[in-house]
Chain A
Amino acid sequence: MTISEELQSYKNLSVGDRLPEIKVLVDQNMVDAYADASGDTNPLHIDPEFAKTTFFGRTIAHGLLTLAFVSQVLSEWNWQGWAYGGELSVAFLGPVYPGDEVSVSGEIDLIEQREEGVFARCNLACYCGERAVVKGTATCKVG
Chain B
Amino acid sequence: MNDTVTYKSLILGDDFLDPPPSFEVTNEVVDKYIRATNDATQELGEPNSRGQRIAPPMLAAVYVIDALRTKVGPPGGVHAKQQFKFHRPACVGETLYTSAKIVKLYQKKERNYVEMTTETLNQDDDLVTTGLITRIWGKE
- Report A53-77 residues with CB < 8 Å from chain B CB: 54-55, 60, 63-65, 67-69, 71-72, 75-76
CB-CB under 8 A from A87, the residues of chain B are: 83-86
Cβ contacts A30-69/B at 8 Å (1 or 0 each): 1001101111101110000010001100001001110111
Q: Are B37 and A72 in contact (CB under 8 A)?
A: yes
A12 CB–B CB distance under 8 Å: no
A32 to B, closest residue via Cβ: B36
Total chain A interface residues with beta-carbon distance under 8 A = 39
Q: Are B57 and A64 in contact (CB under 8 A)?
A: no
B123 CB–A CB distance under 8 Å: no
Given contacts A72-B41, A79-B41, contact A84 B62 (CB under 8 A): no
B71 CB–A CB distance under 8 Å: no
Q: Are B80 and A91 in contact (CB under 8 A)?
A: yes
Given contacts A64-B58, A71-B58, contact A36 B32 (CB under 8 A): yes
Known: A84-B88, A89-B83. 10 other contacts (CB 8 A): A36-B32, A37-B36, A39-B65, A44-B77, A55-B76, A64-B65, A68-B58, A75-B57, A85-B87, A90-B82
